[in-house]
Amino acid sequence: MNPRTLALDTIASDPRLSALLERVTPLLPQDDPGHDLEHCLRVAGWAMRCGGEPRDAVAAALLHDVVNLEKNDPRRAEASGLSAARARDILGELGFEGVDLIADAIEDHSYSRGATPRSPLGDALQDADRLEAVGALGLFRTVSTGTRMGACYFHPGDPWAEAREHDDLRFTVDHFFTKLLRLPATFRTAVGRAEAERRVTFMRGFLDQLGDELGRPLP
């Protein structure tokens, strides 16, 4: 069963999660496919696969980006804390148990925050969210984020930063080297790490292909 279907089936079988989905959907961005409802559903499915208890994992995934700030926003590192605070309010309104556990996992999940999760649920959510940054989905999200920030695809004279510093705010391909290819080493669960390594292999193949097309082989 694919992660999206797993999440939707779990939600459909739990009235409280169904109420949460209805509450959260209008709060998620409609114009940012990297942080929309579909992203949250995939994260929910993978959070369960990475060992999260179903209700907690889905609740955390649905709320983890409820406050979303652009990658180049100076407050970016605060986004997960703001989402956690909003999650506490929403979960409290809906009568959820384990609010602190879910909110802590949300607060800890963000890469930009640099936190170590405080629970197995936090490990599962962090891994599930990071899986969205790698593989084919990660490629889509990287390009769309770069476009939103006004970045070029790559430096025309030095695409692999052989004679310059990486600058992923200006050149999207640089983000592969500043973050994405390094992600598998940061994963907390065996399931998540194995999937991340598989997806990063695809990304390396993409970079090899890009080098072939540019006539500038990847070093």
What is the per-residue DSSP string for 155-198?
-SS-TT-SSS---TTTBTTHHHHHTGGGGGGG--SHHHHHHHHH
Identify any residues that bridge with 171 across adjacent strands, giving them in sequence order: 152
Give the angle subtended at the CA of 44 by the CAs of 180 and 21, to the nearest 5°: 130
Q: Residue 53: what pLDDT?
A: 97
Measured CA to CA, the distance from residue 81 to residue 178 in angstroms comes to 24
Q: Residue 72: what pLDDT?
A: 61
Same domain for 73 and 175?
no
Same domain for 108 and 175?
no
Q: Name the stretches of the chain with pLDDT < 70.
A: 69-77
Q: Residue 71: what pLDDT?
A: 66
Based on the structure, what is the number of domains in the chain? Answer: 2
Under 8 Å between Cβ of 142 and 209: no
In a domain, 126, yes or no: no
Same domain for 146 and 41?
no
Same domain for 147 and 208?
yes
In a domain, 75, yes or no: yes
Q: Residue 73: what pLDDT?
A: 59
Measured CA to CA, the distance from residue 29 to residue 144 in angstroms comes to 14
Q: Residue 42: what pLDDT?
A: 98
Give the domain extent around 165. Answer: 135-214
Regarding pTM above 0.85, the answer is: yes
- Give the domain-ending residue among 119, 152, 182: 119
Q: Residue 21: what pLDDT?
A: 98
Q: Identify how many contiguous H helices and E strands the chain contains and give both numbers.
A: 10, 0
Same domain for 67 and 158?
no
Q: What is the residue-averaged pLDDT of the chain?
A: 93
Same domain for 36 and 82?
yes
- Give Cβ neighbours of residue 44 (< 8 Å, ≥ 6 apart): 3, 6, 7, 10, 57, 58, 61, 62, 128
Q: Residue 89: what pLDDT?
A: 96
Q: Residue 139: what pLDDT?
A: 97
Q: Residue 207: what pLDDT?
A: 98
In a domain, 55, yes or no: yes
Amino acid letter, 33: P
Same domain for 187 and 146?
yes
Among 80, 87, 4, which residue's Cα sits nearest to residue 39?
4
In a domain, 113, yes or no: yes
Q: Residue 77: what pLDDT?
A: 63
Same domain for 105 and 192?
no
Same domain for 150 and 90?
no
